[in-house]
């Protein structure tokens, strides 16, 4: 580059170098693999809500109940309970037992003699949940102490905003056994209209919310999805509901079949049905739920891997361990409360692991 009459002059060689640089940049963008569409199945209670209308749990009780499922101990040789230091969604060691498996869920867990060691954790995350600013009937919930708390976690709204900014193609399927779904759908639509004071920019996200709650009911013969006038069954083709969710746009919600789960002793056999299709190169389904566990006799998802989508949609059952942090994520509620990027991190980890999962399938 030279000076000419006090101005910078660009040589022909430098123009060629610049053109080559632009060409390489465009080529890199062209060669970058296209991101799959994300279909995110999200539980409500103890995943994006810290409350439960069915059991009338406010945020304090719901957080106590959750902590009783992620605190671990062991029985000594004399049968006495001994706490382990770890607080985690997965067992910290082979013989670890979470508190609720031994003693049941406790809505007052951190105020009991056994659970008081976790009281500081509970208090800290209750502070993080507090609503700051004017009370809002749509986006807040009144706690047992009379304070106002975020009803839907800010990390959920941050997920929607961030995926839009990343120009990702995605849809969200809210899945719950509970009764909160209609109000949650209305609240999410209000946020996307720019009415959430902490997320006014959500009004720029061009995603629609279907306010009609659907249902999924299961039997030994089939799973049936209904929403409004729509009815989809797996009886004729196992992949029908997978196809329905894969083509779904925007945000919608479905109440799953709690009675069927209870009749199957709260095991994966009666859990929320969930399908993945490794041969579908364009889509990745991810399910995030606090009741996903590695123990098939105590988990909430009945996962089916579609073997072919053309001839009847044959499938095989997949254990949670096969798809844990690949397509199935056990909610870390403490992180979801404390970290705005929590759900984004879950998606990132699952996408990375899914690529490896597919490579291993093809190798086999």
Q: Poorest-confidence range of 157-171, 236-250, 308-322?
A: 308-322
- CA geometry: angle at 214 spanning 211 and 219, to 5°? 170
Please tell me the distance from the alpha carbon of residue 256 to that of residue 237, in angstroms, as a whole number: 20
DSSP line for 170-191: EEEEEEESSS-HHHHHHHHHHH
Which two structure tokens, joined as six digits, stand for 227? Answer: 């929403």
Query: What is the structure's pLDDT at 312?
Result: 59
Q: Can you list the alpha helix ranges (DSSP code H) found in 111-180?
A: 119-129, 154-165
What is the greatest pairwise CA distance in the chain?
Answer: 93
User: What CA–CA distance (Å, rounded) separates 106 from 99?
Assistant: 9
Q: Which residues pair with 329 in a beta bridge?
A: 288
Q: Tell whether the model's pLDDT for residue 344 goes beyond 60.
A: yes
Residue in this structure with the two tokens 């430098």, named with its chain if needed? 14
Provide the mean pLDDT of the chain.
Answer: 91
Between CA 274 and CA 285 the distance in angstroms is 9
Residue 309 has pLDDT above 80, yes or no: no
Q: What percent of the chain has pLDDT over 70?
A: 89
Least confident residue range of 29-33, 182-186, 312-316, 318-322 = 29-33
pLDDT of residue 164: 97
Across the range 53-71, mean pLDDT stands at 95
Over residues 207-235, mean pLDDT: 97
Lowest mean pLDDT among 101-105, 228-232, 242-246: 101-105
342: part of which helix (H) or strand (E)? helix 342-363
Q: Sketch the domain layout of the chain as residue ranges.
A: 37-48+153-363, 51-152
> For the whole model, what pTM was predicted?
0.90
Q: Which of 30-39, 88-97, 142-151 has the highest mean pLDDT?
A: 142-151
């Amino acid at each position: 580059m030279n000076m000419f009459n006090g101005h910078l002059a660009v040589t022909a060689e430098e123009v060629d170098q610049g053109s080559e640089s632009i060409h390489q940049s465009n080529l890199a963008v062209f060669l970058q693999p296209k991101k799959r569409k994300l279909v995110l199945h999200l539980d409500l209670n103890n995943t994006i809500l810290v409350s439960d209308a069915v059991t009338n749990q406010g945020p304090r009780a719901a957080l106590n109940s959750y902590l009783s499922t992620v605190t671990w101990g062991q029985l000594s040789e004399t049968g006495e309970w001994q706490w382990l230091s770890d607080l985690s969604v997965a067992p910290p060691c082979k013989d670890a037992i979470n508190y609720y498996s031994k003693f049941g869920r406790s809505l007052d867990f951190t105020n009991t003699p056994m659970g008081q060691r976790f009281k500081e954790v509970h208090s800290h995350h209750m502070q993080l949940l507090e609503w700051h600013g004017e009370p809002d009937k749509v986006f807040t919930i009144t706690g047992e102490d009379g304070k106002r708390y975020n009803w839907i976690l800010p990390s959920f709204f941050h997920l929607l905003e961030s995926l839009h900014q990343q120009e990702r193609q995605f849809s969200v399927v809210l899945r719950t056994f509970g009764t909160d779904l209609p109000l949650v759908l209305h609240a999410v639509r209000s946020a996307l209209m720019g009415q959430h004071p902490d997320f006014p920019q959500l009004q720029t996200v061009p995603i629609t919310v279907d306010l009609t709650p659907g249902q999924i009911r299961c039997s030994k013969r089939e799973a049936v999805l209904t929403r409004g006038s729509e009815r989809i069954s797996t009886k004729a083709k196992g992949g029908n509901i997978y196809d329905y969710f894969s083509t779904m746009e925007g945000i919608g919600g479905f109440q799953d079949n709690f009675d069927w789960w209870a009749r199957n002793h709260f095991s994966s056999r009666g859990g929320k049905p969930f399908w993945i299709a490794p041969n579908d190169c364009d889509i990745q389904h991810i399910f995030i739920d606090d009741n996903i566990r590695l123990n098939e006799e105590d988990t909430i998802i009945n996962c089916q891997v579609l073997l072919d989508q053309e001839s009847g949609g044959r499938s095989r059952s997949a254990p949670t361990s096969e798809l844990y942090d690949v397509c199935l994520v056990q909610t870390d509620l403490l992180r979801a409360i404390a970290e705005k990027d929590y759900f984004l991190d879950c998606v990132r980890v699952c996408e990375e692991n899914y690529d490896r999962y597919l490579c291993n399938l093809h190798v086999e």
